[in-house]
Amino acid sequence: LEKDSVKLTELYDYQCDNAVKTGLAQMSIGVAPVNEKLFDSMPLARHPLYVICREEHPLASKAALTFEDLADVHLIIHGRRYKGNREIMKTLKQKKLDDIRISETDNAVNMYKRCQDTDCAAITVLFPNSSFSRFHCIAIPLEEELFWEPCLIYPKGKTLTEKEIDVKKEILENMRT
């Protein structure tokens, strides 16, 4: 997508960082955590994570869940291209729950379908266009200090051009609506 000579491209989390680092992009919407030695950043949102499971799953009756509640569940998480994956794995290790069976996928619909058809549960953010309910699944809040935090990133110390400032303002405006 090109707008007023500003090129917009969708990339995975780490690719966003790398595009800015290598100069392929002047700025990007990445995801925290951000390498503060390389980038300046501006938080755009802070979304909690949820556990998705089928409506008949034994966990479905719970109002909220912790990782300890998931100790015996086969979990599905987003693939390694997502920074949240690394944070989830680090937290499981800290809680000495790193022997939980985990599968990865880069496709949210695949995640929901697997939850519908099996006793798996998935950890994800609730995107505005999420379709998990179509798969007879529910979302239960994950009560852990983990969040999906999109942020605007650009090279450390860079002075933004007038056009980049306009794009930044538009991004901030759209993230608030």
Cis? peptide before 33, omega within 30° of 0:
yes
What does pTM read for this prediction?
A: 0.81
Listed in sequence order, the DSSP H helices in the chain are: 13-21, 83-94, 108-117, 162-176
According to the model, what pLDDT value does residue 171 have? 79
Q: What pLDDT, in 10s, does the model give residues 90-108?
A: 888 999 987 889 898 888 8
pLDDT at position 117: 93
Which candidate, 64, 47, 70, places its Cα nearest to that of 122?
70
Whether 159 and 27 have beta carbons less than 8 Å apart is answered as no
Higher pLDDT, 107 or 12: 107
Tens digits of residue pLDDT in 106-156 = 888 889 999 999 999 999 888 666 788 889 999 999 999 888 888 889 999
Q: How far apart are CA 123 and CA 156, in angstroms?
A: 32
Average pLDDT over residues 56-81: 92
